[in-house]
Structure 1
Amino acid sequence: MIGVLRDVFDVFLAGEEFDSFAELTSGHINDTFLVTTKQQHKYVFQKINKGVFPDVPGLIGNKVNISNHLHHKLSNLTKKERQRRILTFLQTSGGESFYTDQNGDFWNVTIFIDESQTFETVTDPEVAYEGGKLFGEFIFLTTDFDSSKLVEVIPNFHNMYFRFDQFRESLQNASEERLGKAKSYIDRANELKKEMLILQDLKDSGQIRTRVTHNDTKISNALFDLEGKGLCVIDTDTIMPGIIHYDFGDAIRTICNTAAEDEKDLEKVEFNMDFYEAYTKGFLEKTGDAVSDLERKYFPLAAKTMIFIMALRFLTDYLNNDIYYKTSFPGHNLVRSANQFKLIQSFEEVMGRVS
């Protein structure tokens, strides 16, 4: 790996000297490395997983174009301040945003944001609030970017009709044993189908606008300073056209579950309303008039829908004999699906109490 990293280094950082590297293991898809130069500058080298993303140049183009847009929007800040608030992509000596190595793998390089931290889970409403502000600001600052200029890096990623088609096919191909074990969740998925198609229909009819969305708004993709204040939105591989509810709902799904995504003891799975309210407050403070009344009206449904889409995807993969998600034990995907369905139940109960 050191040889490849040096090749990438020479293309992006010809004026500096390579010193050391360390692998960053927080991501699950791409290979990421922290590289330090003899000049004591730090950079993040990332190899994009071309097996997951069919159009890597398009993906990198999305990231770079949005980052450039954000730099322009925050041009009132100093260059140093902007490089802490926004991912800054380097260009190769030939003026390209990526380098293709001898194996055909694609690399991009960003400036490392020092004196920062991430959170894998939320244990404090203040973190949820700061995360909401950070992702809300991302929506606000990109609201004037023409999303039609972005590549759809994962086609149909949040398309609910597509996910139900996959589910229907899995029902036709699943074993009797798995169908039996999953029956209660299959019934629940079918019961919720009409409600879970509402946002998709609003998007398809144009009643809710298509805009720039991040599409992976878990709290670990928010970078905080050492005092716990929101700093920078990171891991922008899945930027593409979408609706605001994708980003709001996915953040709520990951922030407000009181248990791990594959917790077997469903008694531990509850929806944390305090975190929901804190995140929503921060999100709305920063999105401001970039959010329409109609969009705001469907935020609660967005949370439920994004929980559901993961419940359905886990269930579909279980019925397909676990061909997509990595599993650690028999029935792992069914446990994950049960977990998300329990979170929906808790969400309904909590929302019922406050409505």
Structure 2
Amino acid sequence: MWAPLRGLAVRRCDDEGLINGTWVAGAAGAAGAAGAAGEADEVGAGGEPPRFVVQRVSPIFAPEVHDDIEAVTAHLAGRGLATPRLLRAEDGALYARDSAGAVWRVMDFIPGRTHHRVGSPALARAAGALVARFHRAVDDLEHAYRHVRAGAHDTALHMERLDGAATGGEGRRLADAILDAWRTWQGRLDMPLRHCHGDLKISNLRFSDAGEGICLLDLDTLALQSIDVELGDAWRSWCNPAGEDATEARFDLEIFAAAVAGYREVRPFGAQEREALADAVERIALELAARFCRDAFEDRYFGWDAVRFSTRVAHNLHRAAGQLSLARAARRQRGEIARLLAGG
């Protein structure tokens, strides 16, 4: 289906993520990955990086998502930014189906490093600057998305669904705490929509060995959404050193300050953006807490760690409590968050 793949060794990616099946294709005889825990560049024989990433796309993404990826990456490339690009199949299509109907795609491999946590202010600053370059580059993009995830960040709707799903016991008590926190949240929900990546966890950003941001990866979540949702979700992830599997979270102001400084140097915040962003981490943490807690009742959506937890329900209650803890930490530090956003 893709002529450039012929003769290349293809192997499963050691660090493929949770949704799409991922392989790398490189020079004949390509070996395994270098480095530990997926933090280093993928390399093959002779130290050469792979040439392409091959993915079996999850059915949660409609095939039309490739039209969106093509439009945004073409725009980014036209602005001089590094970005993975789709390789067209021999028939000119952006993707192909196999005999079982599964959707496959091939994209350029971007050499660099992948990190799974923000371990230093320097990395946070580079991440903030990279996201700002992306946002600045797509400020003038004109594109109507074909693949739309309706209600993905409709926080009020997630709360309604939680209230309807929660029955009794420990889960209901946790649900009530989440719903109470949402009722007393005092942020704003009226920010304009803009082009966003949609899932800025740190492993979706590519860095050089020197620590500079190169490009954004995993582009299936591209969408129109507000900047407080985009950055609130990024900071929720980057600034919680305990991670999503700890019930006692901490919001790291040093990491946050560095991320904000890196972003602001490239694309300064407007007054309304600063106001909305001051409450954004709390909002998105509560939203994710509601989603985890709801799945503790419905028991069908999120993956779970069967080694650490006896059931998906137990893992989801644990994660919901952690996100509620993070939301409370962000609320306690709201004044400092606002000051840092203002350049203090």
Report the more deviating stretch, 306-315 or 190-199. 190-199
**Residues 282 and 195 of structure 1, relative CA distance in 2, 3 Å threshold:** farther
Report the more deviating stretch, 235-244 or 191-200. 191-200
Question: Secondary structure of the equivalent of 1:259?
Answer: coil
Q: 1:185 aligns with which of 174, 184, 209?
A: 174
Q: Which residue of 2 aligns with 1:277?
A: 257
Amino acid at match of 1:253: R
**Residues 168 and 197 of structure 1, relative CA distance in 2, 3 Å threshold:** farther
The aligned runs of 1:24-63 (5 Å cut-off) are 24=13, 25-38=15-28, 42-50=51-59, 52-53=60-61, 55=62, 57-63=63-69
Q: 1:299 aligns with which of 260, 273, 277?
A: 277
Question: Is 1:160 aligned to 2:155, yes or no?
Answer: yes
* Structure 1 residue 199, shift from structure 2 partner: 3.9
Amino acid at match of 2:291: R
* Structure 1 residue 227, shift from structure 2 partner: 0.9
Q: Which runs of 5+ in 2 are unaligned?
A: 30-47, 340-344
Q: How many residue pairs get matched?
A: 312
Deviation string 1:107-156 (CA, Å, 9 cap, x unpaired) is: 11111112x10110011001011111111111111111135x11343221
Report the more deviating stretch, 336-345 or 156-165. 156-165
CA root-mean-square deviation: 2.1
Question: Is 1:123 aligned to 2:119, yes or no?
Answer: yes
Q: Which runs of 5+ in 1 are unaligned?
A: 1-10, 75-81, 203-207
* Structure 1 residue 231, shift from structure 2 partner: 0.6
Q: Which residue of 1 aligns with 2:224?
A: 241
The aligned runs of 1:127-276 (5 Å cut-off) are 127-147=123-143, 149-171=144-166, 174=167, 179-194=168-183, 196=185, 198-200=187-189, 202=190, 208-264=191-247, 266=248, 269-276=249-256
Q: Which residue of 1 aligns with 2:303?
A: 326
Q: CA separation in 2, counterparts of 1:184 and 1:352?
A: 29
Deviation string 1:318-342 (CA, Å, 9 cap, x unpaired) is: 122x211123324111110111111
CA contact (8 A) 2:127 2:259 kept: yes
* Structure 1 residue 195, shift from structure 2 partner: 5.0
Question: Is 1:105 aligned to 2:76, yes or no?
Answer: no
CA contact (8 A) 2:187 2:276 kept: no
**Residues 183 and 32 of structure 1, relative CA distance in 2, 3 Å threshold:** same
Q: Which residue of 2 aligns with 1:71?
A: 77
**Residues 111 and 196 of structure 1, relative CA distance in 2, 3 Å threshold:** same
Deviation string 1:55-88 (CA, Å, 9 cap, x unpaired) is: 2x211111111000111122xxxxxxx5xx2112
Question: Secondary structure of the equivalent of 1:32?
Answer: strand
* Structure 1 residue 16, shift from structure 2 partner: 5.8
Question: Secondary structure of the equivalent of 2:321?
Answer: helix
Percent identity at matched positions? 25
Q: Which residue of 2 aligns with 1:91?
A: 88
Q: Which residue of 1 aligns with 2:42?
A: none
Higher relative contact order (CA 8 A, sep 6+): 1
Question: Secondary structure of the equivalent of 1:298?
Answer: helix
TM-score normalised over the length of structure 2: 0.85
CA contact (8 A) 1:117 1:224 kept: yes
Amino acid at match of 2:69: K
CA contact (8 A) 1:161 1:197 kept: no
* Structure 1 residue 196, shift from structure 2 partner: 4.8
TM-score normalised over the length of structure 1: 0.82
* Structure 1 residue 198, shift from structure 2 partner: 4.7
Question: Secondary structure of the equivalent of 2:242?
Answer: coil
**Residues 129 and 221 of structure 1, relative CA distance in 2, 3 Å threshold:** same
Amino acid at match of 1:91: R
Question: Secondary structure of the equivalent of 2:56?
Answer: strand
**Residues 197 and 238 of structure 1, relative CA distance in 2, 3 Å threshold:** farther
Q: CA separation in 2, counterparts of 1:262 and 1:31?
A: 24
Q: CA separation in 2, counterparts of 1:333 and 1:69?
A: 39
**Residues 224 and 15 of structure 1, relative CA distance in 2, 3 Å threshold:** closer
Question: Secondary structure of the equivalent of 1:182?
Answer: helix
**Residues 89 and 345 of structure 1, relative CA distance in 2, 3 Å threshold:** same
